[in-house]
Structure 1
Amino acid sequence: MAAIKTVIFGAYGMLGHDLQTVYPGAVLRGHELDITDERAVGACIRDLSPDLVVNAAAYTDVDGCEDNRDLAFAVNGEALAYIASACSDAGATLVHYSTDYVFDGSKREYIESDTPAPINVYGASKLLGEQNIVKNTGDYRIIRTSWLFGRHGKNFVETMLHLSKQMDQVRVVNDQVGKPTYTVDLARKTPEIVGLEPGIYHVTNDGVCSWYDFARAIIENVVPCSSAEFPRKAKRPAYSVLANTKTAPLRHWSDALADYLNAKGESD
C-alpha cells in the first residue's frame, strides 16, 4: 500500500480523517481544493500523478441540499465528472463514496444492481455523481454506504448524546430503517475494494435497525415517533437497507458503536 501514490480529497472530513490512517502516506486535500473548479481539479491530479484518488468530499447536509440545490449538484454531481476525467487522463483509480439515498425506499433491501430512484435532492445529486464517474472513467470503485458516524465530524451519535443532556425525552423516528456504518470500518475496508474489479459496491456495518433502535443503543431517554410527527425538509426513504453481494460484511453496527463510545470515553 505504501508504494501506491494516493491522493485523498475531503481529507479533513469525518471519513477523510479515518482514511488518513489507512493511507498514511497520502497527499491530503481539503477545502483548499475546490472540486467544483474543473481546471483546479485537473491541475491537481495532473501535477500529482497519483495511482489512486480517494474522494471523500461531499455536501452531505440532506435538508440543506433542498435549499441549496445548485450547490448540491455542483459538489456531489458535476464535480465527479471533473475528477473522473482527470483520473482517466492520469491513469489513476478513482474511489468515490455514494449513498443509500440514491434509492426510494420502496424495497426492504437493495443490491448493487438495483435501479436507483432518489426522492430528495441529496440522493439525486449523488446519483448524478455516480453517473458522471461511469461516463468519464473505466477504473472506478463506487462505494455506497449509509448512516455514517465517526469521531471527526457531526453525526447522529453525537446529536443523541447532546440532546439527551438537554431534553427529558428525545423523539426519534421509528419508521426509517437502514444500516449504521462506522467510518473507521468503512475506511479500513476501502483498500480491499480497490483490489477488486471496477464497479459499484455496497459497504455498511452489518445489522438492520431504525433510527429509534440506533438511538436506543446510545441513550436511555429516547421515545419513538413517526416521520409524519417529525417532518423534515427532505423526504427520506423508509427502507434504505444496502445488501452487499460482493464482499464479506463488516462487523455488526452495535459492536462498532461500542468501540466508538469507548474511544470517545477514553479521549473525553
Structure 2
Amino acid sequence: MGAIKTLIIGASGMLGSDLCKVFPDAIKLAHKNLDITDREQVIESVLKTKPDIVINAAAYTNVDGCEDNQELAFQVNGSGPGYIAEACSIVGAKLVHFSTDYVFDGSKKEHMESDVPSPINVYGDSKLLGEKKIIENINDYRIVRISWLFGIHGENFVETMLRSSGEMDTVKVVNDQFGKPTYTMDLACKIREIIDLNPRIYHITNDGICSWYEFAFSIIDNVTPCTSEEFPRKAKRPKYSVLVNTKTEPMRHWREALKAYLQERNI
C-alpha cells in the first residue's frame, strides 16, 4: 500500500487554503488550474492524478451575486460537483464536498442532517443541486454542510466588521437571523476525521448559536442591531440556518474559534 493521495479542488479559496495547510502533501488545484464546469477537463484532471480522496472546496459563494448570475451559480455549484463525483467514481476515489446551511428555508430553529431541504434563494438552490448530482454519481461521498465561514485567507464577515468599524461611527447589523459561525481552520482539521467516517451528509460547524449582531458585537464595539427589513438584500436569507451536528463530536465554541482567528490576525 502506497501513501494515500489527496486532491484538493478550489485550493486557493478561504477554506481551500486552510485545507492545504491540513493536507500539505495534497495535489492542489485552483480555479486557474481547473474549471469544474468543464466536464471533460474535470474527468481528465482526476484521471491524470488518480487520487484516493478528492476534497472539493470550489464554489460560487456570493449569495447576492448568485441572484444576478443564476446560470453561473448552477454550473459551478450544481453541475461542477456532479462532474467531480463522476470522475471520482471512475477512479474509485472518496469525495468530500462542502454544501451549505442555505439549503434550508429557516422555518425551523434547528436543522438536522435528515431534514428535507427547501432553499429560498438561488445560492441555496444551486448548492442543493450539487448535493443531488453527487448522490446520483457516486456512493462514496461525504457531503459536509457548513455555515457562516470566516478564515484568514479570504473576505468574510469578521473582516467586513473590522473594516466597517473604522469607516463608520455606527455599524448596523441584523439581529433576526441566527446561525453558527465556523472557523475554516477548525473545519479543515475536522475533515481528517470525516474522511474515515461512513458516506453520508454531515453538519459541521463550530458550536454555539448567535445572531449576526451578536457575532458582530463580539468583534467590534460600535455596532447596533437592526431588522432584516431595515437592511434589505437581493437574496432572501433564512431566519434560522442553525445546523445540528448529530453524527460527530462537536467542535469548539465559535467564541473560542474567533479568539484564535483574531490572534492569528494579530488583533
Could you tell me how far apart the structure 1 residues matched to 2:154 and 2:177 are?
A: 22
Runs of 4+ off more than 4 Å: none
> Partner of 1:47 in structure 2?
48
SS of 1:201 mapped into structure 2: strand
Could you tell me how far apart the structure 2 residues matched to 1:210 and 1:81 are?
A: 33
Could you tell me how far apart the structure 1 residues matched to 2:38 and 2:98 are?
A: 20
SS of 2:207 mapped into structure 1: coil
Could you tell me how far apart the structure 1 residues matched to 2:120 and 2:16 are?
A: 27
Q: Do residues 219 (structure 1) and 220 (structure 2) align?
A: yes
> Partner of 1:125 in structure 2?
126
Map 1:148-159 to 2 at 5 A. 148-159=149-160
TM-score normalised to structure 1 length: 0.98
Map 1:50-89 to 2 at 5 A. 50-89=51-90
Could you tell me how far apart the structure 2 residues matched to 1:31 and 1:196 are?
A: 28
Q: Do residues 27 (structure 1) and 27 (structure 2) align?
A: yes
Map 1:153-168 to 2 at 5 A. 153-168=154-169
SS of 2:3 mapped into structure 1: coil
Give 1:3 shift. Answer: 2.0
Could you tell me how far apart the structure 2 residues matched to 1:58 and 1:37 are?
A: 14
The amino acid across from 2:76 in the alignment is V
SS of 1:200 mapped into structure 2: strand
Could you tell me how far apart the structure 1 residues matched to 2:194 and 2:187 are?
A: 10
Could you tell me how far apart the structure 1 residues matched to 2:185 and 2:84 are?
A: 24
Q: Do residues 12 (structure 1) and 37 (structure 2) align?
A: no
Give 1:31 shift. Answer: 1.4
> Partner of 2:100 in structure 1?
99
Map 1:107-256 to 2 at 5 A. 107-256=108-257
SS of 1:265 mapped into structure 2: coil
- Deviation per CA, 1:97-148: give whole Å up to 9, x if none: 0000000000000000000000000000000000000000000000001000
Give 1:81 shift. Answer: 1.2
Could you tell me how far apart the structure 2 residues matched to 1:236 and 1:31 are?
A: 27
TM-score normalised to structure 2 length: 0.98
State the identity %. 65
Could you tell me how far apart the structure 2 residues matched to 1:251 and 1:191 are?
A: 16
Gaps of 5+ in 2: none
